[in-house]
A = this chain, B = another copy of it.
């Protein structure tokens, strides 16, 4: 690469800075649009925002999820979580199961019909997004994925660090 004057260097860095900010802004737009999707989906399922959030947690939970952990994730009191689960169970969205070994615990899992309904509603969006991904070369896909994973990680870290629980 050829020599670079100080002015050129400054300009290059400046350009990179603004482009980096553009990228962060694009990310923000995605998040905002995703919020819209969540809102309309919650309305379609006839769920209050918090109840919808509870369902997403129930569907993504890596391991067993109980009312207490749910209350922590949603930032509500445990009693409120119990009532929330009551509502979702009554509406046929969630199932309560006793843990076989520790009978204090309650396992919350989404019902099959609920999962199917949500996936059906989301299916066109998911295939659309998958199609979008296929418009990029493998190298580009790798870069995008690297960016997304790292961004998610940093967002997660920030949330954890800022959170005063």
Contact = CB atoms under 8 A, between A and B. Distances in A.
B133 A23 contact: yes
Interface residues of A, number: 76
A36 interface: yes
Nearest to A5: B63
A104 B133 CA distance: 47
A16 to B, nearest CB: 6
Interface string A16-47: 11111111101101111111110111011000
Given A24-B130, A128-B158, 12 more contacts: A16-B138, A19-B133, A23-B130, A24-B129, A26-B145, A26-B149, A30-B31, A40-B159, A40-B163, A125-B158, A129-B154, A133-B147
